[in-house]
A and B are shown apart, each in its own frame.
Chain A
Amino acid sequence: MRWFIRRLGFYVFAIWVAITLNFLLPRLMPGDPLGGLMQRLTPSQIQGNPGIINTFKIMLGGTHEPMWKAYPIYLRNIFTGNLGISTSNYPSHVSDVIGRTLPYSIFLVGVGFILAFILGIAVGMVAAWRRGGIVDNFVMPSLLALAAFPAFFTSLVLVYFLGLKLGWFPLQHAYDTGVTPGFNWAFLSSAFRHAELPIIVIVLVFAGGWALNMRTIMINTIEEDYVGMAKAKGLHDRRVMTRYAARNAILPPLNGFAAQFATAVGGLVFIEFVFSYPGAGWTLQQAALGADYPLTQGLLLVFAVCVIVANFIMDLLNFVLDPRVRTA
Chain B
Amino acid sequence: MTGVLEGGVGSPSAVGQETLVELRELVVDYVLGGRHIRAVDHVNLSIGSGEIVGLAGESGCGKSTIANAVMQLLRPPAQVTSGQVLFRGQDLTKLSTEEVRQFRWQNVSMVFQSAMNSLNPLMRVGDQFVDMMKAHRKISKSDALARAATLMELVGMDRSHVRSYPHELSGGMRQRTVVAMALALGPELMIMDEPTTALDVVVQREILQRVQDLQQDLGFAVLFITHDLSLLVEFSNRIAIMYAGEIVEAAPSDELFRRPLHPYTVGLMSSFPSLSGPLERMAGITGSPPDLGNPPSGCRFHTRCSHCDPAGRALYARQTTERPVLREVEPGHFVACHLLDTP
Contacts and interface: CB of A to CB of B under 8 A. Distances in A.
A218 to B, nearest CB: 15
Interface stretch (A9-17, A151-159, A221-229, A277-285): A221-229
B257 interface: no
Interface string B151-193: 0000000000000010110000000001001000000000000
A234 to B, nearest CB: 4
A125 to B, nearest CB: 15
Contacts of A233: 104-105, 109, 131-132, 135, 181
B140 interface: no
Interface stretch (A50-58, A103-111, A241-249): A241-249
A226 to B, nearest CB: 5
Given A233-B181, A248-B122, A327 B167 contact: yes
B197 to A, nearest CB: 13
Residue from B122, B131, B135 having most chain A Cβ neighbours under 10 A: B122
A258 to B, nearest CB: 19
Contacts of A230: 120
B14 to A, nearest CB: 30
Contacts of A239: 131, 135
Contact of B71 (A224, A232, A237, A327): A232
B49 to A, nearest CB: 20
A210 B129 CA distance: 32
A225 B104 contact: no
Interface stretch (B30-38, B110-118, B266-274, B295-303): B110-118
B121 interface: yes
B135 A247 contact: no
Contact of A232 (B110, B114, B165, B168): B110
Contacts of B112: 225, 228-229, 232
Query: Which interface class (under 10, 10 to 19, 20 to 34, 35 or more) fits A?
Result: 20 to 34
A324 B112 CA distance: 22
Interface string B12-51: 0000000000000000000000000000000000000000
A236 interface: yes
B205 interface: no
Contacts, number: 76
Given A239-B135, A244-B120, 10 more contacts: A225-B112, A225-B113, A225-B118, A228-B73, A232-B71, A232-B73, A232-B104, A234-B104, A243-B123, A248-B122
B119 A229 contact: yes
B107 to A, nearest CB: 9
Contacts of B119: 226, 229
A322 interface: yes
B120 A226 contact: yes
A243 B123 CA distance: 9
Given A234-B101, A239-B131, A324 B120 contact: no
B136 interface: yes
Contacts of B236: none
B75 to A, nearest CB: 9
A108 B142 CA distance: 44
A252 to B, nearest CB: 13
A178 interface: no
Q: 7 closest Cβ contacts across the A-B interface?
A: A234-B104, A225-B117, A229-B118, A234-B105, A233-B132, A226-B120, A233-B105
A323 B117 contact: no
Nearest to B118: A229
A235 interface: yes
Given A226-B119, A248-B122, A235 B132 contact: yes
Contacts of A236: 101, 135
A324 B103 contact: no
A53 to B, nearest CB: 59
A234 B106 contact: yes
Contact of A234 (B113, B120, B135): B135
Nearest to B166: A226
A234 B72 CA distance: 11
Nearest to B136: A234
B306 interface: no
A173 interface: no
B102 interface: yes
Interface string A288-328: 00000000000000000000000000000000011110010
B181 to A, nearest CB: 7
A163 B97 CA distance: 48
A239 B104 CA distance: 15
Interface string B127-143: 00001100110000000
A113 B73 CA distance: 38
Contacts of A229: 110, 112, 118-119, 178
B168 A327 contact: yes
A237 B71 CA distance: 15
A230 B71 CA distance: 12
A241 B209 CA distance: 36
A181 to B, nearest CB: 44
A82 B90 CA distance: 80
A93 interface: no
A324 B122 CA distance: 8
A322 B135 CA distance: 25
A226 B123 CA distance: 11
B118 A243 contact: no
A226 B181 CA distance: 13
A91 to B, nearest CB: 55
A231 interface: yes
A248 B104 contact: no
